[in-house]
Amino acid sequence: MGIFDFFKGKSKAAPAVAGATDASAAPAEALAKELESQGFDVSTVDIEVDGDRVTLNGAVNSRADLEKIVLTVGNSKGVAQVENNLIAPDHDPTQPSGIHIVVEGDTLWKIAEAHYGNGARYEEIFEANKPMLKHPDKIYPGQRLRLPGAGGVALAEASGWAPPAEIAGKG
């Protein structure tokens, strides 16, 4: 749970959901249709749009779906902020996936090397970001990617959640 900030001036490669503009997210119905088209069950999710801010309320099937839904919406054109109020049966805020913000020159191989110490693990990142990613070479600057098992505190901190000292390695 928390508020996630996304890069407002997204790349031309960012998904443009019907009705989105550079300054405003697509209407809630269009975002729901986009999520459904990617295979997410959003029948119990309420989506509210206020300009470039999207609020997600409700329940989803898994932590992976929760994280993917937040990132799919946030990576969409016109979205600068996502307030995540979703819950999942296996959601433990102390164990979220890490997050990586793509910069110019990044590849999934380079990201895997940096976070896992082994570039060959790029397939794990690709799989963790499906259906958002359709091909391992199709990433763009500003896009946020899930990194399961790597830098979990980073995603939690990005939402404003502060981990207990023993989890953050300070205790």
pLDDT (tens digit, 9 = 90+) per residue, 130-156?
A: 988 999 999 999 999 999 876 543 444
Label residue 96 by pLDDT band (50, 70, 90): low
Same domain (yes/no): 82, 6? yes
Q: Find the DSSP H helices in the chain.
A: 28-37, 63-74, 108-116, 122-128, 152-158, 165-168
Residue 71 located in a structural domain: yes
DSSP 95: S
Residue 75 lies in a domain: yes
Residue 114 in any domain: the answer is: yes
In a domain, 40, yes or no: yes
pLDDT at 120 over 80: yes
Is the pLDDT assigned to residue 35 strictly greater than 50?
A: yes
* Least confident segment among 31-45, 55-69, 80-94: 80-94
Instruction: Measure Cα distances from 47 to 37, 42, 122, 155 in Å.
Output: 16, 9, 32, 21
What predicted TM-score, i.e. pTM, was given to this entire model?
0.75
The verdict on residue 19 lying in a domain is: yes
Do residues 38 and 131 make contact, with C-beta atoms less than 8 angstroms apart? yes
Does 168 fall in a domain?
no
State how many domains the chain has: 2
Q: Does 166 map to a domain? A: no
Which residue in this structure is represented by tokens 């997210």? 25
Residue 47 domain-assigned?
Answer: yes
Do 76 and 11 belong together in one domain?
Answer: yes
